């Protein structure tokens, strides 16, 4: 007998307190956490997941973007639309709203959340490269404890993360960047809206007094089993001035650090090739922005 067609029904619980929710999560091994539902519902419908209970933490005020002294905190239930229009994020972490702007389309952005995007852990997750470039950290809570995990350790494989079934991703920390920083996000897709990334890149460059690179982050999406950092390319940049040659060398190096697959959207050869193009373009764009700032725009 087949089970290709029938789908298990599930119960729904929207707890009024974090404690109640985390307890329910711990006690129900078949539970899934729902936020915007934009990944969960298609997965359920497609027979990929079979929750017996969905728990919705929407009453717990987990939708916020707050500045503290050293960092910004974003609640896991903040939607892409909210991040897109945040002046705080646009001012200090522009690559993130830039990525959110390119996710799907408004109806999806109005429901899809930061937490959902990260936990769903698609290698193509659009918020991952910018957050990785910004050294984001994730707060995972469970009944009785919590831990903080750096984002660049969070992803283990396609759809797999360090988050345990009894944990809730509650919020994301992004530390403020050094003063002379520029960042950029570029996404390539097979059409100009509602497209899963074929390749994506987020870069962040901070320059020192002598215009040398102090900090460099190059985060890539859709070109490996998880979003990744091109660390060798980053090291190439540190201490150097951002000349065309240095940028080209870093871009070429980044291409060698990826492990893309061929799938319905693109071949692995194309993806590799695009890594070099996108890294180069984003670094050049960051350099232009830094120049304009120094010359008073």
Task: Tell me how far, at minimum, the Cβ of 149 lies from another protein, in Å.
Answer: 28
Task: Tell me how far, at minimum, the Cβ of 72 lies from another protein, in Å.
Answer: 23
State which residue, 18 or 277, has the beta carbon closest to another protein.
277
Q: Residue 198 and residue 188: Cα distance in Å, rounded? A: 5
CA-based Rg of the chain, rounded to a whole angstrom? 20
Task: Tell me how far, at minimum, the Cβ of 37 lies from another protein, in Å.
Answer: 5
- Binding residues (CB under 8 A) for another protein: these are 1-7, 9-12, 14, 34, 36-38, 41-42, 45, 54, 56, 58, 81, 104-108, 110-111, 188, 190-196, 264, 266-267, 270, 273-274, 277
State which residue, 26 or 111, has the beta carbon closest to another protein.
111
State which residue, 131 or 253, has the beta carbon closest to another protein.
253
Task: Tell me how far, at minimum, the Cβ of 192 lies from another protein, in Å.
Answer: 4
Q: Residue 123 and residue 157: Cα distance in Å, rounded? A: 8
State which residue, 229 or 271, has the beta carbon closest to another protein.
271
Give which of 271, 144, 121 is closest to 201, Cα–Cα: 271
Task: Tell me how far, at minimum, the Cβ of 210 lies from another protein, in Å.
Answer: 29
User: Is the backbone of residue 7 left (phi > 0), alpha (psi -120 to 50) or beta?
Assistant: beta
Q: Other C-beta atoms within 10 Å of 106: how many?
A: 12
Give which of 83, 93, 86 is closest to 132, Cα–Cα: 93
Q: Residue 25 and residue 170: Cα distance in Å, rounded? A: 13
State which residue, 177 or 197, has the beta carbon closest to another protein.
197
């Amino acid at each position: 007998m087949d089970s290709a067609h029938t789908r298990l029904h599930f119960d729904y619980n929207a707890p009024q307190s974090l404690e109640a929710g985390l307890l329910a999560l711990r006690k129900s091994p078949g539970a899934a956490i729902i936020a915007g539902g934009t990944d969960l519902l298609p997965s359920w419908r497609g027979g990929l997941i079979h929750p017996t209970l969905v728990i919705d933490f929407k009453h717990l005020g987990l939708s916020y973007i707050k500045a503290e002294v050293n960092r910004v905190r974003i609640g896991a239930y903040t939607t892409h639309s909210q991040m897109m229009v945040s002046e705080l994020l646009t001012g200090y972490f522009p690559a993130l709203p830039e990525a959110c702007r390119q996710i799907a389309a408004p109806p999806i952005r109005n429901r899809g959340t930061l937490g959902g995007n990260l936990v769903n852990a698609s290698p193509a997750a659009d918020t991952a490269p910018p957050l990785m470039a910004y050294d984001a950290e994730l707060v995972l809570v469970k009944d009785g404890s919590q831990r903080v995990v750096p984002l660049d350790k969070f992803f283990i494989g396609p759809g797999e993360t360090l988050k345990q079934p009894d944990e809730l991703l509650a919020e994301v920390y992004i530390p403020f960047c050094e003063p002379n920083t520029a960042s950029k996000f570029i996404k390539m897709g097979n059409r100009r809206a509602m497209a899963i990334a074929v390749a994506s890149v987020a870069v962040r460059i901070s320059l020192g007094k002598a215009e040398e690179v102090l900090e460099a982050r190059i985060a890539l999406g859709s070109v490996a089993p998880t979003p990744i950092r091109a660390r060798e390319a980053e090291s190439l940049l540190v201490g150097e001035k951002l000349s065309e040659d240095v940028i080209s060398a870093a871009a070429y190096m980044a291409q060698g650090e990826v492990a893309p697959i061929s799938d319905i959207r693109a071949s692995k050869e194309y993806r590799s090739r695009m890594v070099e193009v996108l890294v180069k373009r984003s670094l050049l764009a960051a350099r232009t922005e830094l120049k304009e700032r120094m010359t008073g725009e």
